Amino acid sequence: MGAPADRAARQIVLAPIAPAVTGNGLAMRTALFCRSSPAGVDVVTVVVPVAGALPTPPSPWPGVTVVPLDPVGARAGSLALLADARWRDRLGRAGPLPAPARAGSPGLVDAVAAACRGDGPVDLHVVRSYLAPLAIAVAGRIGATSATLDLDDDDVAYAKSIGDREGAAAYERMITVFAPLFDARSASSAFEADAMATRYGLAVEHVPNAVDLPDPPRRRRSGRVEPCLLFVGNLTYPPNAEAARMLVEEVLPRVRRRLGAGVRVLLVGNHHRDLERLAGPTVELAGYVADLDAMYERADVVVAPITTGAGTRIKLLEAFAHDVPVVAWPVAASGLAVTGGHHLLLVEDPEQAAAAVEAVLTDAALAARLVAAARALVRDDYCVDVVEPRIREFLAAAASRARDRGQPAWS
């Protein structure tokens, strides 16, 4: 079967991290777009590792190329771009760029374009706002027929939430200049999609995160001598690192006072060395784990003490899919269509979290109700089988608009 009439023969996915089906939220979102291309469209994934590299081969897809971050090459490439009046104007209005955009500099265009070589017309999809300038440079260089941008999170809102006014202003300048050049834009949270659409005066479509739904559901173990509290995430990301610290230092002691000493914490995800101080006899710092099924099997409750951040937490969806009850702060559940007390228990502080953990561990009927409702939510709204067709529609509509508009905005 050939490519659909409105689609090119190839899809380039430009991302800051390699795709993976589990283990890292951004890698999982990248994978979602990689696996959603229509039949007959070849997918090539080009990784500019701004968000880091996973420690094991992360992708079941062939054709993943990693372009090294090369400051010298990027500097030379940027100087070449500045010889073009359009790029002098773009970078002048957008600069100085946020730090991740400087690492994934548009000056890397030659190296990325070389990784995109192939036969036939190509659609370009880029993951995260900070690769937008590079993506526009690449689109022009390879003659892309369409270009789409997955903003994923609201970077401006996140920077403001942590008091980084300079970073917020840098992201806003960059997105204001480069986002209009794409044929379509998406975000993982409906609320943030609407907020960004209003801020930039552009259409931003809601493309939710999604997970695979294990079948059959796991059978919950009950009455364990040492119940396990699980937190999964990229622990090099400051909001996740702070959540891990709060779980160990503030929530766990309160849970122990309620239930006794026999409670364990399992922290899973890449982490900096300074988090190793959290490890101890009842706290396991597992690091990166490629297959999380065994981690969720060990868990009695997923606890997410996240108080800052943006986007939607794909790890909550993963916990829902694995039939593990969830206790979370409202920020952790932001952007997901969840109801506290129905899909999960929402709390505001460590004392409330400890009480909620106690309730889930001592009330089997409550735990069963939460698990059933959360699984149904994933099945209906956040399952890969549901979201993949939405992504195909999003990409096809962008390709159709690109065909109708003629001259691309980035040329």
Q: Do residue 356 and residue 232 come from a single domain?
A: yes
Is residue 301 one of the residues assigned to a domain? yes
Predicted confidence pLDDT, tens digits, the chain (411 residues)? 344 555 667 899 999 998 888 777 888 899 999 988 776 778 889 999 998 766 555 556 667 888 988 899 899 999 999 999 999 999 999 999 999 999 999 999 999 999 988 777 889 999 999 999 999 999 999 999 999 999 999 999 999 988 999 999 999 999 999 999 999 999 999 999 999 999 999 999 999 999 988 876 665 555 567 899 999 988 888 889 999 999 999 999 999 999 987 899 999 988 888 899 999 999 999 988 877 888 999 999 999 999 887 656 788 999 999 999 999 999 999 889 999 999 999 999 999 999 999 999 999 999 999 999 999 999 999 999 999 999 999 999 998 888 888 778 787
Q: Do residue 377 and residue 389 come from a single domain?
A: no
Task: Name the burial class of residue 282, with classes exposed (0-12), middle (13-18) and buried (19+) by CB atoms within 10 angstroms of its CB.
Answer: middle
* Residues whose CB falls within 8 Å of the CB of residue 278, separated by 6 or more in sequence, listed in order: 244, 245, 248, 249, 267, 285
Q: Do residue 312 and residue 350 come from a single domain?
A: yes
Is residue 2 one of the residues assigned to a domain? no
pLDDT score recorded for residue 139: 95
Is residue 217 one of the residues assigned to a domain? no
Helix (H) or strand (E) holding 11: strand 10-15
Is residue 117 one of the residues assigned to a domain? yes
In angstroms and rounded to an integer, the radius of gyration of the C-alpha atoms of the chain is: 22
Is residue 219 one of the residues assigned to a domain? no
**Which two structure tokens, joined as six digits, stand for 356?**
């909620």
Q: How many CB atoms lie within 10 A of CB 237?
A: 20
Q: Do residue 233 and residue 359 come from a single domain?
A: yes
Instruction: Report the C-alpha gap between 391 and 400 in whole angstroms.
Output: 14
Q: Do residue 246 and residue 364 come from a single domain?
A: yes
Instruction: Report the C-alpha gap between 87 and 84 in whole angstroms.
Output: 5
Structural domain count, the chain: 2
Domain ranges, residue 358: 228-382
pLDDT score recorded for residue 117: 82
Which residue, chain included where needed, has tokens 């982490």? 271
Is residue 3 one of the residues assigned to a domain? no
Q: Do residue 367 and residue 395 come from a single domain?
A: no
> What is the CATH number for 201?
3.40.50.2000
Q: Do residue 147 and residue 204 come from a single domain?
A: yes
Q: Do residue 71 and residue 138 come from a single domain?
A: yes
Is residue 243 one of the residues assigned to a domain? yes
Q: Do residue 375 and residue 391 come from a single domain?
A: no
Is residue 34 one of the residues assigned to a domain? yes
Q: Do residue 25 and residue 173 come from a single domain?
A: yes
From 303, 298, 323, 301, select the one nearest 313 (Cα to Cα): 303
Q: Do residue 307 and residue 352 come from a single domain?
A: yes
pLDDT score recorded for residue 133: 98
pLDDT score recorded for residue 3: 47
Instruction: Find the DSSP H helices in 143-284.
Output: 155-161, 165-178, 190-200, 238-246, 252-259
Q: Do residue 367 and residue 393 come from a single domain?
A: no
pLDDT score recorded for residue 1: 36
First-residue to last-residue Cα distance in the chain: 31
**Which two structure tokens, joined as six digits, stand for 263?**
């409670």
pLDDT score recorded for residue 305: 95
